[in-house]
Amino acid sequence: MLEVDSMENPMDPGRSRAFAGRRVAITGASGSLGLALLRAFHGCGASLVALTTRVEPLELGSSDGTPIALEQVTWSCGHEADLRELFSHVDILVINHGINLHGDRSATGLERSLEVNALSCLRLLELFAAAQPSSPSAQPAKGPQPCREVWINTSEAEILPAVSPLYEISKRLVGQLVSLRALDLAGPELRIRRLVLGPFRSNLNPIGLMGAAFVAQAVLRLAAWDWGLIIVTPNPLTYVLFPFVVLARWTYLGLFSRPSSSSEAPTPST
Ligand SMILES: NC(=O)c1ccc[n+]([C@@H]2O[C@H](COP(=O)([O-])OP(=O)(O)OC[C@H]3O[C@@H](n4cnc5c(N)ncnc54)[C@H](OP(=O)(O)O)[C@@H]3O)[C@@H](O)[C@H]2O)c1
């Protein structure tokens, strides 16, 4: 039974070691998973930046009602470049925002889905990769300095049906674009992790099987175990198929594309 929304966040020493003191920015912060991730990172001692399209203040409390301190930054698709300066002071960027227009197949719906679910994510990835980090905020007691990280929340809809064609197409696109650009952007200074999640309850999917809090805790646990491909789903097919898809893509894209010479982020036309 995956109904564990009310689960407390036990202070896990492994997770705390991995994220304590790190500055984490999360898009889609006011959504179900955004809020759950903010709480989970807070439980690990990270400092929080909520990237949201809302202008109203975001109030976040822990399970005992204690308010959680966070910096709220308003952004919108097409204006990603406004976040350039902020990204110099962020250690982990979680690209989590998304929309699901379900049965819509209109030209407007297509454009919105591609813009929100794919193109804005790609621009954020490029900007974050190009940002010059200021002095890192996380200073581990011992061991090497952790590198900056981008986590991209695609979906198992990247490879499996989600009864929402535009959602699947846009998630597949962002998944493929991330695989392509990771060949140049990922390295010792930037780690790119992919979150592949199954159905959880949220505004986007009110009938999801899992709870967002459970998913957020599982994501952080797997990340603390150093996994780069983070799969959380009740569907066993995803665990079998996804690693093959990623490996096949990586091989194909690596063989048939050339390294790029510039890491300069393109400026979106607004
Ligand atoms: N729920 C599922 O079953 C499921 C499964 C796999 C993957 N996912 C993915 O998980 C992520 C989080 O989704 P969720 O289920 O937590 O849904 P959610 O509660 O609807 O949250 C999505 C958030 O995305 C942001 N957003 C919406 N429209 C936007 C726009 N036009 N531009 C920029 N940001 C926008 C909003 O946050 P702000 O108002 O704070 O900007 C919204 O609250 C999504 O990428 C989704 O595709 C969900």
The reply to whether 249 falls in a domain is: yes
Structural domain containing residue 54 = 13-255
Number of H helices, E strands in the chain: 8, 7
pLDDT by residue, tens only, the chain of 270 residues: 333 343 444 557 777 788 999 999 999 999 999 999 999 999 999 999 999 999 999 999 987 888 999 999 999 999 999 999 999 999 999 999 999 999 999 999 999 999 999 999 999 999 999 998 886 555 555 566 789 999 999 999 999 999 999 999 999 999 999 999 999 999 999 999 999 999 999 999 999 999 999 999 999 999 999 999 999 999 999 999 999 999 999 999 999 999 986 555 555 544
What pLDDT score was predicted for residue 14?
72
The reply to whether 3 falls in a domain is: no
Return the CATH number at 219: 3.40.50.720
The catalytic residue positions are 167
Residue with the smallest CA separation from ligand 1 atom 5 is 199
Ligand 1 binding pocket includes 197 (Cβ within 6 Å): yes
The reply to whether 17 falls in a domain is: yes
What pLDDT score was predicted for residue 262?
58
Contact 160, 234 (CB under 8 A): no
The reply to whether 54 falls in a domain is: yes
Tokens of 267: 């400026």
Count CB neighbours of 206 within 10 A.
8
Distance, CA 212 to ligand 1 centroid (Å)? 11
Overall number of domains in the chain: 1
The reply to whether 71 falls in a domain is: yes
The reply to whether 263 falls in a domain is: no
Ligand 1 binding pocket includes 77 (Cβ within 6 Å): yes
The reply to whether 268 falls in a domain is: no
